[in-house]
Structure 1
Amino acid sequence: MQPTLTKSVVLTLIGHISAAHLNPAVSVAAIILGKINIPMAVVYILAELSGGIAGFGLLQVVTPDSILRSKSNGSCCALCVTLPHPELSAFQAVLAEGLATSVLILVVCAVWDKRNERNTDSVPLRFGFTVMAIAAAEGPYTGASMNPARSLGPVIWTGVWESHWVYWVGPIVGAVLTAFMYKQVFDRTPAHVSQVTEDDNEQAIPLQSNRHSKELEAERGSDLNITQA
Structure 2
Amino acid sequence: MAPAFFTSLFKQSVTPDALRAYLAEFISTFFYVFAVVGSAMASRKLMSDSATDPSSLVLVAVANTFALSSTVYMAANVSGGHVNPAVTFGMAVGGHISVSTALFYWVSQMSASVVACLLLKVATVSQDVPIYAIANEMTGFGASLMEGVVAFGLMYGVYAGGDPRSGPLRSIGPVAIGVMAGAMVLAAGPFSGGAMNPALAFGSAVVAGRFKNQAVYWVGPLIGAAVAGLVYDSVVFPGQRVNSDGV
TM over 0.5, yes or no?
yes
The structure with more radius of gyration: 1
Q: Distance in 2 between matches of 1:189 and 1:152?
A: 35
Instruction: Give the TM-score of the pair, scaled to structure 2.
Output: 0.69
Q: Distance in 1 between matches of 2:177 and 2:155?
A: 10
Shift of 1:12: 2.4
Quote the residue 2:124 is aligned against: 63
Shift of 1:11: 1.9
Shift of 1:22: 0.7
Amino acid at match of 1:42: L
**After TM superposition, where is structure 1 displaced by more than 3 Å over at least 4 residues in a row?**
none
Contact 1:111 1:117 in 2 (8 A): no
Mapping 1:129-148, distance limit 5 Å: 129-148=179-198
Q: Secondary structure at the match of 1:18?
A: coil
Amino acid at match of 2:146: A
Is 1:186 aligned to residue 247 of structure 2? Answer: no
Q: Deviations over 1:61-105 (max 9, x none)?
A: 11134x42xxxxxxxxxx320000011011111111011101111
Q: 1:59 to 1:100 in 2, by over 3 A?
A: same
Quote the residue 2:66 is aligned against: 5
Pick from 100, 115, 121 the counterpart of residue 150 of structure 2. Answer: 100
Q: 1:147 to 1:30 in 2, by over 3 A?
A: same
Mapping 1:77-92, distance limit 5 Å: 79-92=129-142
Shift of 1:180: 1.4
Shift of 1:117: 4.7
Contact 2:91 2:226 in 1 (8 A): no
Q: Deviations over 1:178-209 (max 9, x none)?
A: 21122211221379xxxxxxxxxxxxxxxxxx
Q: Deviations over 1:129-174 (max 9, x none)?
A: 1111111111111110001000000111111111111100010111
Quote the residue 1:212 is aligned against: none
Q: Distance in 2 between matches of 1:113 and 1:20?
A: 14
Amino acid at match of 1:107: G
RMSD across aligned C-alpha pairs, in angstroms?
1.6
Quote the residue 2:82 is aligned against: 21
Instruction: Give the TM-score of the pair, scaled to structure 1.
Output: 0.74
Q: Distance in 2 between matches of 1:171 and 1:107?
A: 14
Structure 2: which 5+ residue stretches go unaligned? Answer: 1-61, 242-247
Mapping 1:133-212, distance limit 5 Å: 133-189=183-239
Q: Distance in 1 between matches of 2:124 and 2:64?
A: 17
Q: Distance in 2 between matches of 1:161 and 1:82?
A: 9
* Aligned length in residues: 180
Quote the residue 1:45 is aligned against: 106
Pick from 115, 118, 122 the counterpart of residue 54 of structure 1. Answer: 115
Q: 1:45 to 1:15 in 2, by over 3 A?
A: same
Structure 1: which 5+ residue stretches go unaligned? Answer: 69-78, 192-229
Q: Secondary structure at the match of 2:200?
A: helix
Query: Percentage identity across aligned positions?
Result: 28
More displaced stretch, 25-34 vs 43-52 = 25-34
Q: Secondary structure at the match of 1:6?
A: helix
Quote the residue 1:201 is aligned against: none
